[in-house]
Structure 1
Amino acid sequence: MTSPRITLAAWNMHAKKKFGQNFLNDPSIPELIAERAKIGEEDLVVEIGPGLGALTVPLSKRASRVCAIEKDTQILPVLRSELLASGADNVEIINEDILNVSLTEMAEAHGGPIIVVGNLPYNISSQILVQMIRERRWVKKALFMFQKELAERITAPEGTRNFGRMAAMLGYCSKIRTLVRVDASKFFPRPKVDSEVIEVTFLTDPPHVAEDEDLLFAVIKAAFGKRRKNLRNALSNSELPLTPVEAEEVLVSADIAVNRRAESLTVEEFVRLSNALVAYLVVPSAS
């Protein structure tokens, strides 16, 4: 693995802040991540933001195939050169924004669930996670690197200050664990904070089933959208079709106190609340 500083300088390039580019400069880190991912020879790995290929190469040695989704057009010649030099001939590079890529279509073409890996930029990490949750039927597991602060929010337990929208959504349908902690010194350019790699394994059967998942996720979004307000006010000041009186009625029917705040709810209570809202929104037939 060539130093990213040297590689970028050789190509007269620099890391782009708008893409959140911080390149791993210690080969032991991507090797460790690839090893702990437990990738099999039959697996298709979709890598988000391969950059200079530091993680792509060790992934390619373990997987059947790697689809590397890279938005930065200018870095593609460098990535291709690095992969060629490493003999990684089972990597397909796709120059596209991951938010425009269907994981479902890729998995269907592969013939089974895929593994998703990536060092996610801060500004679109939530969008990528929401996309993956909605397509999770076709995702065996995901390994994502986040800045430490964001990783702690995503993995926050119920009832804690950091518990938020993404922790609630992932808590509904997956098991999460921290795989690797990566010091800021392992990147070029060096970020201000350390990072963590988390593993997300999706559940076939969630312990608490929402009658309408889209509505569940809308309730979670509404509740945390105004997290300083109590639930009655947060729900009624959101995209949900609820007045304060209606929000109170739904909360009461779900056996949840109206003055509680979003971070105090468990995943089971969010499911109970969304199921109560399903029943509340059902209009009896006139016939």
Structure 2
Amino acid sequence: MTSPRITLAAWDMHAKKKFGQNFLNDPSVPELIAERAGISAEDLVVEIGPGLGALTVPLARRAARVCAIEKDSQILPVLRSELLASGTDNVEILNEDILNVSLTEIAEAHGGPIIVAGNLPYNISSQILVQMIRERRWVKKALFMFQKELAERITAPEGTRNFGRMAAMLGYCATIRTLVRVDASKFFPRPKVDSEVIEVTFLTDPPHVATDEALLFAVIKAAFGKRRKNLRNALSNSELPLSPVQAEEVLNGAEIAVNRRAESLTVEEFVRLANELAGFLAASSGSEG
């Protein structure tokens, strides 16, 4: 692995802040991530933002194939050169924005669930996670590197101050564990904070099932959208079709106190609330008809 500082200088290039580019400069880190990922020789790994290929190469050594999705077209010649120098020939590179890519289509073409990995830019991390959750039927697991602060929010337990929208959504359909903690000194350019790699393994059967999953996620979004407000006010001041009186009725039906706040709810309570709301909306629609 060539130093990213030297590689970029040789190509007269710089890391782009708009793409959140911070390149790993210690080969032991991507090797450790790939080792702990549990990748088999039959797996297809979709890597988001391969950059200079630091993680791509150790992933490719363990997987059947890697599909590397890179938005920055200017870095592609460098990536191809690094892969060629390492003798890696089982990597397909797509010059696309991951938010415009169908993981389902990639997995269907592969013939089964895929593994997704990547060092995610802070500004689109939540969007990518939501995409994973929606397409999780075709995602065996995801291995993502986040800035430490964001990783702590994503892995926050129920009932804690950091528990938020993404932790609740993932808590519904996945198990999460921290794989590796990565010091800021392991990157070039050096970021201001350390990072963590988390493993998200999606559940085939969630322990608490929502009758309308899209509505569940809408309820979670609404509750945390106004997290300083109590649930009655948060739900009635959201995109949900609820007045304060109706929100109170639904909360009472779900046996959840109206003055509680989003971070105090468990995943099971969010599911119960969403199921109660689904019944309420169905009854309201029937009475109007």
- Please, what TM-score do these two structures have when normalized by structure 1? 0.99
Q: Deviations over 1:65-102 (max 9, x none)?
A: 00000000100000000000011100000000000000
1:144 aligns with 2:144: yes
For residues 32-111 of structure 1, what are the structure 2 equivalents within 5 Å?
Answer: 32-111=32-111
- Please, what TM-score do these two structures have when normalized by structure 2? 0.98
Aligned to 2:193: 193
Q: Which moved more, 1:135-144 or 1:276-285?
A: 276-285
1:284 aligns with 2:286: yes
In structure 1, how many angstroms separate the alpha carbons of the residues matched to 2:259 and 2:60? 52
Aligned to 2:222: 222
1:284 deviates by: 2.9
1:24 deviates by: 0.2
Aligned to 2:164: 164
In structure 1, how many angstroms separate the alpha carbons of the residues matched to 2:210 and 2:257? 20
**Aligned residue type for 1:97:** D
In structure 1, how many angstroms separate the alpha carbons of the residues matched to 2:131 and 2:199? 16
1:60 deviates by: 0.5
**Aligned residue type for 1:72:** D
In structure 2, how many angstroms separate the alpha carbons of the residues matched to 1:277 and 1:88? 52
**Percent identity of the aligned residues?**
89
Q: Deviations over 1:101-145 (max 9, x none)?
A: 000000000000000000000000000000000000000000000
1:251 deviates by: 0.2
**Aligned residue type for 2:163:** F
RMSD, aligned CA: 0.9
Partner of 1:60, secondary structure, is helix
Partner of 1:284, secondary structure, is helix
Partner of 1:232, secondary structure, is helix
Q: Deviations over 1:184-238 (max 9, x none)?
A: 0000000000000000000000000000000000000000000000000000000
| Number of residue pairs aligned between Structure 1 and Structure 2 | 287
Partner of 2:13, secondary structure, is coil
Partner of 2:235, secondary structure, is helix
1:158 deviates by: 0.1
Partner of 2:197, secondary structure, is strand
User: Could you list the runs of 4 or more consecutive aligned residues of structure 1 that deviate by over 2 angstroms after TM superposition?
Assistant: 283-287
Aligned to 2:234: 234
5+ long unaligned stretches in structure 1: none
1:48 deviates by: 0.1
